[in-house]
Structure 1
Amino acid sequence: MAGRTTTAERGAGGPRRPGRGAVPPPAARRPAPGRPDDRRRRRLLLVLALAPALVLGGCALWVLYGSSWLRVESVTVTGTRVLTERQVRGVAAVPVGDPLVSVDPEAVERRLLDGLPRIDSVEVVRSWPHGIEVRVVERRPVVVMAEKRGYAEVDGEGVRFGTVAERPGGVPLLVVDLADSPSRHRFGAERMRREAVRVASALPDGVRRDTRTIRVRSYDSITLELTGGRTVVWGSAEKSAAKAESLTLLMKAADGAERFDVSVPGAPAASGS
């Protein structure tokens, strides 16, 4: 009679428990953790690789901020006409002796524009290794207005930016005399001043030099008073470019006339002699 057949004898595929000396299958193996010596070696290599960059960075910071090599020694101002270099330097307030890299050009520009209305635009740049350059563009008057202390200057945008004791040559005097004109209540003196500036900005160079006074009585009544007793009826500030062109042609065609009317630029007229 045959004995009981064991599982091993039948070749069954059931799991076996490995013995003490058995090697686990590859999937069950885990990588051995790195040795302390390997980790220390990697850290050392990293420090050695970063050391030059850290040294160079520290040197650069010292040169820029700590050394006496790159510090502000001079402030150069260019482009001034009426303003003095001393005025510009005073408002700019650039700290001489401070590191050049610490100067904020935009902050200096803001101080100048806020503190000196005469400046139209300004550019502040570092001039290595020791300088700051301030490049100024001043506003130019298109008209002036009489005041108690002299003449207020008004630029092409209608901005009153300064006062001078004497009237600049070649700049018309603006007189806004609205009296009881409806324009006084409808537009106001400020608006009428801007309208007159539009006219002055459109004048040909020769006519502007000869214009003594721009007189505003209403929105539709702007008159130019020229040298030699001549007058120009301009009308409103609308179509000023076309009116300036018509005036130039009219003055050539009617040389010697005393009164020019370009209020309707398509039909200019001249009279008097």
Structure 2
Amino acid sequence: RADTSARPPHIGPEGARISRRALLILIGAAAALLAAFVIWALYGSSWLRVEKVTTSGVEVLTREEVEAVAATPVGAPLVSVDTDAMERRLRQKLPRIDRVDVVRSWPNGIGLKVTERKPVLLVEKGGKFVEVDAKGVRFATVDRAPKGVPLLELKPEPSASLRRFGGDRLLREAVRVTGDLPAAVAKDTEVVRVASFDAISLRLTR
């Protein structure tokens, strides 16, 4: 008689189905536990909360000014910080900012990456100077004229085109002309005079 004592036990189809079902249950339970842990780590634990704010790219603005306006919620879960709202607030309250990126710096930081507007023309007003950037945006008023930035004398002559387009169009045209100047000429330009769209003149230092 053949010896059958070493044969492995036979697992029928029903047993295989039970084993697969148990495996799926275990996998589902593990996934649920992992998801619960991730949610707790992001929102409930003290590991991933805002502890520090770093600011880069400022030149005229100070870090203190930028961070005060940003109003980063220190102590809040890092994942819950509304970075879009912070960016909008910074652009609205600090017009000198041309672009700002608010980024999460895991595990516990917020980074404020600032790009400031650069003045290409100045408009004198009440003894002060309004800075105008390369897009024609008036973004700041300063007591002293920044060195190397030409003064704009906007004295338009009455014309049909002026009534149609207004002074802002002349300002943008002056910005365009200034941006197109050769570097050597731009460096020596003190004043840009604008009388009309086709009457723009320069006063040079030499």
Q: Which residue of 2 aligns with 1:135?
A: 113
Structure 1 residue runs without a partner (length 5+):
1-34, 229-273
Q: Report the CA distance between 1:72 and its aligned residue.
A: 0.4
TM-score (norm 1): 0.64
Q: Report the CA distance between 1:107 and its aligned residue.
A: 2.5
Instruction: Output the CA distance in 1 between the equivalents of 2:35 and 2:158.
Output: 74
Is the 8 Å Cα contact of residues 173 and 213 (structure 1) preserved in structure 2?
yes
Q: Which residue of 2 aligns with 1:79?
A: 57
Q: Equivalent residues in 2 for 1:28-177 (5 A)?
A: 46-148=24-126, 150-177=128-155
Q: Report the CA distance between 1:43 and its aligned residue.
A: 6.8
Q: 1:191 aligns with which of 165, 169, 182?
A: 169
Q: Which residue of 2 aligns with 1:16?
A: none
Per-residue displacement from partner, 1:211-237 (whole Å, max 9, x unpaired)? 110001122211100113xxxxxxxxx
2:192 corresponds to 1:214: yes
Q: Report the CA distance between 1:201 and its aligned residue.
A: 0.7
Compare 188-197 and 173-182 and name the one that shifted more: 173-182
Instruction: Output the CA distance in 2 between the equivalents of 1:114 and 1:213.
Output: 30
Q: Match of 1:113, as an amino acid?
A: R
Instruction: Output the CA distance in 2 between the equivalents of 1:184 and 1:46.
Output: 76
Compare 88-97 and 108-117 and name the one that shifted more: 108-117
Identity among equivalent positions (%) equals 54
Q: Report the secondary structure of 2:168's partner residue.
A: helix
Q: Report the secondary structure of 1:88's partner residue.
A: helix
Q: Report the CA distance between 1:185 and its aligned residue.
A: 2.4
Structure 2 residue runs without a partner (length 5+):
1-13
Q: Report the secondary structure of 1:223's partner residue.
A: strand
Q: Report the CA distance between 1:179 and its aligned residue.
A: 4.2
Q: Report the secondary structure of 2:140's partner residue.
A: strand
* Bigger Rg over Cα: 1
Tell me how many residue pairs correspond in the alignment: 193
CA RMSD of aligned residues (A): 2.3
Q: Match of 1:191, as an amino acid?
A: R
Q: Which residue of 2 aligns with 1:28?
A: none
Higher relative contact order (CA 8 A, sep 6+): 2
Q: Which residue of 2 aligns with 1:202?
A: 180
Is the 8 Å Cα contact of residues 75 and 132 (structure 1) preserved in structure 2?
yes
Q: Match of 1:51, as an amino acid?
A: A
